[in-house]
């Protein structure tokens, strides 16, 4: 399941709170006045045993960083948490390359690499989602954060070693939301993106379906729905077939910015 992160918290303008927090958390062996690079300092503090969950001024260091959208420091935490893995994750650059080379996926590659409202590439990180948001369901595999200056996709570490094409399909489906809002139409279009991109990949490499997991199963169900045929109801290749999933979107508003047209085929005209 994809989750939109709607954190809207007051930003802090300096790293002072972060440093003071760790100073109080038993990491005073370091001279804060002598260290100019907060990225390096923060990592050293975590290595030294600073408690990321201890609070100062009612916020923990972790909350200050993730609720304040301090992306350089978020990367510090994520790198520190991910130290436990002995093997590297799937290379995101290679994942994006698969989208770039795909006739169907290239549009989403362009969005992910800067053709979006922020004019910046998405940050894409593997991490433990429950550390960022303890309330997140274990069924969620993706968290999407939007601010006016940066889009971020956090992929749960359970999926850090998925094949490049699987991750490329996930990122393509996530890329269409660049404003933090969502709607029935947008979610249905996202399903269509999954179907079209995954269908392109497995046409080129049918062996991808040998790696069965819940995500690949979902992709294949989306393809089945896209290719469903029933006279006067469903037509093969008709993206409006995805309206069958509308029952699962009762808590969503009908439309959102960029997703007003109820004819889902209009969002995929480049595929026709």
Exposure of 12 in the CB half-sphere (CA atoms within 13 A)? 18
Residues 143/170, Cβ–Cβ less than 8 Å? no
> What residues in the chain have per-residue pLDDT under 50?
5-41, 43-44, 48, 272
3-class SS at 254? coil
DSSP state of 124: E
Nearest to 83 by CA among 23, 33, 43, 38: 43
CA distance 145 to 260: 22
pLDDT tens digits for range 70-94: 788 888 889 989 999 999 999 999 9
Q: Specify the residue for token string 């004019």.
A: 119
Position 50 scores a pLDDT of 54
Residues 39/73, Cβ–Cβ less than 8 Å? yes
Position 39 scores a pLDDT of 45
Residues 6+ apart with CB under 8 A from 173: 2, 190, 191, 193, 194, 197
Instruction: Give the DSSP per-residue string, 131-164.
Output: HH-TTS-TT--EEEEE-SS-EEEEEEGGGTTS-H
3-class SS at 250? coil
Position 54 scores a pLDDT of 57
Nearest to 199 by CA among 208, 190, 186: 208
Whether this prediction's pTM lies above 0.75 is answered by yes
Average pLDDT, the chain: 80
User: Domain-by-domain residue ranges, the chain?
Assistant: 9-84, 92-271
Position 271 scores a pLDDT of 55
Q: What residues form DSSP beta bridges with 123?
A: 152
């Amino acid at each position: 399941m994809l989750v939109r992160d709607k954190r809207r918290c007051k930003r802090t303008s300096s790293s002072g709170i972060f440093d003071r927090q760790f100073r109080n958390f038993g990491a005073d062996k370091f001279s804060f006045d002598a260290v100019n690079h907060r990225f390096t300092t923060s990592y050293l503090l975590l290595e030294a045993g600073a408690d990321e969950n201890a609070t100062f001024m009612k916020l923990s260091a972790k909350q200050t960083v993730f609720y304040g959208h301090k992306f350089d420091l978020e990367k510090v935490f994520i790198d520190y948490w991910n130290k436990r893995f002995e093997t590297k994750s799937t290379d995101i650059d290679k994942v994006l390359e698969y989208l770039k080379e795909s006739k169907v996926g290239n549009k989403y590659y362009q969005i992910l690499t800067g053709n979006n409202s922020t004019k910046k590439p998405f940050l894409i990180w593997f991490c433990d989602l429950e550390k960022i948001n303890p309330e997140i369901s274990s069924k969620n595999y993706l968290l999407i954060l939007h601010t006016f200056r940066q889009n971020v996709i956090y992929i749960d570490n359970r999926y850090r070693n998925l094949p490049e094409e699987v991750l490329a399909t996930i990122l393509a489906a996530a890329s269409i939301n660049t404003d933090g809002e969502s709607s029935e139409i947008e979610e249905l279009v996202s399903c269509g993106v999954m179907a079209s991109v995954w269908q392109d990949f497995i046409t080129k490499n049918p062996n991808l379906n040998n790696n069965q997991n819940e995500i690949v199963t979902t992709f294949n169900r989306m393809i089945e729905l896209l290719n469903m045929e029933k006279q006067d109801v469903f037509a093969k290749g008709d993206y409006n077939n995805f309206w069958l999933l509308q029952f699962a979107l009762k808590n969503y508003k009908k439309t959102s910015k960029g997703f007003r047209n109820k004819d889902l085929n209009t969002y995929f005209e480049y595929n026709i």
